[in-house]
Structure 1
């Protein structure tokens, strides 16, 4: 019974901290021994009641906890103070910009900033992003070995959210190869109808992928080629700044021609896909003229 009570105390403490809480902060507040607290958090994380950000090591409420609290639809849209690069991208574009991390076998939104045109129903802190259908997830998975991607996708139903959603593992793998080639992903009506998103990976000092940063907007505002190109430049600039703060100095991710790996999953593949020639060209310099108006399958 004491373990259950302590677990609930931990959940309440995490829920009360919209900016997240570190292990030490929770220990100081609750007085639970660090070892016991770590085990409790590990159990809660395994069941998706909490999530841990690999970027700042803070704990947040997980997707299961948010599902239990779905009635609270009017909480602040900005639950976690995001990086200044995320805020700047949202202010510059007027659109919602958010960070996603691969936590366990789930891609989870860990921070966001809303612009002048918020999509409140599309994304929220702690929301699980479908691995096969969201640009935010795929721009991370693109740098995982194919066997790892197959294993992850095998744990989830490839739900057809719209007629544009990838429906098979092979289709997703083909798309991830395209993401690696151009260095970003676009989602157009694949997850939500009339919603458009562009996402770019965030690299660490070792060239592995820590997370992704994504700009999402109403599809009607992104039909113009210039609007899409500007959104791409904005999100690449944010990814560049975030990667730089993690120690990434530019050039090709990974070593010896091997594509960058996700920091969550670094198993080696016997057949790594060919990396882009230069993943960190100046923001906006790559493929802007070829940014598709509609993803073709």
Structure 2
């Protein structure tokens, strides 16, 4: 491990969690280095546009260069590229927004967001990071991970975003068992009050789960008695089509169920 690179990454992560900015002394304390070292790291990152310094306070925050890097990552991500057509098709079919996401560090990163057709003002959620345990996407992915990775998630941090978010490992394990049986996951009031999600896993050519795709919207629209099963079937079938587009074998997912 290159120590300077590790420290620079540590600086960026601290700034990503800071509210709203951090000074040199604060950052030096957080990453455990001398103040001159922290200052040198910040000046280097600033020169590359990865951090910027507020003129009035002298404190630092994340810079626009990270947006360019993030967009480059999203634009080159195969799942996002392949998902665009299928997500748009599902959004039109279900008359609801569709998110495609991947699991990273216990969170789901939304890599594509298809808006609900003809809906009111909507906020683009591409790039959003969601606790895996509080959204259908996260549970759909986690259910088909190898056993040791599922255990790591269940024994790790389980944030409560709303009063309905699940933070009981046993209850989550039971949900993941059901997801493996049905092929889809559901969340209700767990990420946003009044909203629900229905998601299914997506597999790649190796047969491993690489992400999830699902509907997001008001509970009364997605989970109504006469619509819930129809939506679940649609999500599951579109996720399977996307998996086939990625080259997944027909028995994809079975290995994780063992």
Q: Which structure's CA Rg is the greater one?
A: 2
Alignment of structure 1 residues 154-233 onto 2, 5 Å: 154-159=155-160, 161-162=162-163, 164-233=164-233
Preserved CA contact (<8 Å) 2:202 2:212: yes
Distance in 2 between residues matched to 1:118 and 1:202, nearest whole Å? 29
Q: Any stretches of 5+ residues in structure 2 without a counterpart? A: 1-42, 52-61
Deviation at 1:81, TM superposition (A): 10
Distance in 1 between residues matched to 2:214 and 2:114, nearest whole Å? 11
Distance in 1 between residues matched to 2:216 and 2:106, nearest whole Å? 23
Which among 26, 50, 56 is matched to residue 8 of structure 1?
Answer: 50
Q: Does 1:56 align with 2:108?
A: no
3-state SS of paired residue (1:226): coil
CA offset digits 1:29-49 (Å, max 9, x no partner): xxxxxxxxxxxxxxxxxxxxx
The aligned residue for residue 100 of structure 1 is 101
Preserved CA contact (<8 Å) 1:96 1:217: yes
Preserved CA contact (<8 Å) 2:94 2:231: yes
Q: State the number of aligned residues.
A: 205
The aligned residue for residue 244 of structure 1 is 244
Deviation at 1:146, TM superposition (A): 3.8
Deviation at 1:126, TM superposition (A): 1.6
Preserved CA contact (<8 Å) 1:53 1:101: no
Moved runs in structure 1, 4+ residues, more than 4 A?
none
Give the TM-score, by structure 1 length.
0.60
Q: 1:16 to 1:147 in 2, by over 3 A?
A: closer
3-state SS of paired residue (1:221): helix
The aligned residue for residue 258 of structure 1 is 255
Q: 1:105 to 1:229 in 2, by over 3 A?
A: closer
Give the TM-score, by structure 2 length.
0.68
CA offset digits 1:94-138 (Å, max 9, x no partner): 1100101012332111110111346846x7112112121211001
Q: 1:153 to 1:173 in 2, by over 3 A?
A: same
The aligned residue for residue 135 of structure 1 is 136
Preserved CA contact (<8 Å) 2:158 2:166: no
- After superposition, the CA RMSD in angstroms is 3.1
More helix by share: 2
Distance in 2 between residues matched to 1:134 and 1:128, nearest whole Å? 11
Q: 1:145 to 1:223 in 2, by over 3 A?
A: closer
